[in-house]
Amino acid sequence: MFHKTISRYFILTITILMVISLAVAGENVFKVKRVIDGDTIELENGEKVRYIGIDTPETKHPSKPVEYYGKEAAEVNRSLVEGKEVRLEFDVQQRDKYGRLLAYVYVGDIFVNAWLVENGYAQILTIPPNVKYQDKFLELQKKAREEDRGLWRKDTTQVKEEQRPSEEGVVYITKTGSKYHSGNCRYLSKSKIPILLSDAIAKGYSPCSVCGGIPEKKTDLFKYKDETPPQKEDSATSDVTVYITRTGSKYHAFGCRYLSKSSIPISLKEAISKGYTPCSVCGGGTSKIKSESFKYKEDSYNFESDRVEVKGYYRKDGTYVKPHTRSKPRKK
């Protein structure tokens, strides 16, 4: 009798736990109204959901052309989730600055975020504090690259010449590392030295396994190897260079203290169009330092103004002083 009672209580407990787990899981189940692109969807309730931890090639960016493998990523995402019920799993931060939900998405037994990375439709994009599956995504991307899946495929006729990584593109290295990186790679938080891809390869650097070392097009934000920069638009803001960070919502002047961890050059016009607002400390470059008024050469900036450049150097105590500028000494 005693054993029968225990068995009944055990079965009842298991049943209750299953009901509770199903109810909790059901709270985050939604139907997908439409697929926006490879990593963003819209639910029937109007909420937009951005997949956590991954980034697919652009197809609908207002200022960028359709990127290689962007259409394929959008189509496969559509075939996976559009019109279907999906379960959303959240991490620490549930919304981005645009108000979109940030989620890991499941359809049936398929973990969509991971599936897109594993099959070469997406790269990893880790933005703290949402890092729950970072290691899993990194391992899947490594496998996709080794097996030349999707956007990692080396020999394909689909890639237009202008979209192929050019050896004249710009990548970034660090003072001590042996890898070259894309401009937004997390390993550039302490040092970020631009270099031509061809030079990086010639010096023995290899691509970063996290970001892939995808080069950027040379811009007129700096002069590299004494090349003449192209002419800018005759606009009140298009020729002014400011700097943003990977996670902030402000734009800054060169040398602002908030650029110690990341410093991404961008035109003032583009910064404003993307919703960035000026830094309250430095004013956001309102002194209008024009991009043509300085050049980058051998890890130092040269401002053709009343300032002089000071190259990086080591103090006697061993600390490193970054390259900077200072006012010219006044004549007595």
The catalytic residue positions are 50, 58, 100
CA–chain centroid gap for 95, Å, is: 17
DSSP string of 27-58? TTEEEEEEEEETTEEEETTS-EEEETTEEPPP
Supply the DSSP string of 152-182, one letter for each residue.
G-SS-TTS-GGGSPPTTSEEEE-SS-SEEB-
Q: Which residue has the tokens 């002194």?
A: 287
Non-local (6+) Cβ contacts of 68 within 8 A are 57, 151, 158, 159, 160, 163
| 8 A C-beta contact, residue 132 and residue 139 | no
Alpha-carbon distances, residue 62 vs 55, 58, 72, 73 (angstroms) = 17, 10, 19, 18
Token duo for residue 148 = 């030349």
Cross-strand partners of 310:
324
Smallest CA-to-CA distance from 180 within 160, 163, 161, 165 is with 165
- CA nearest to 189, candidates 256, 245, 111, 269: 245
The answer to whether 48 touches 54, Cβ cutoff 8 Å, is: no
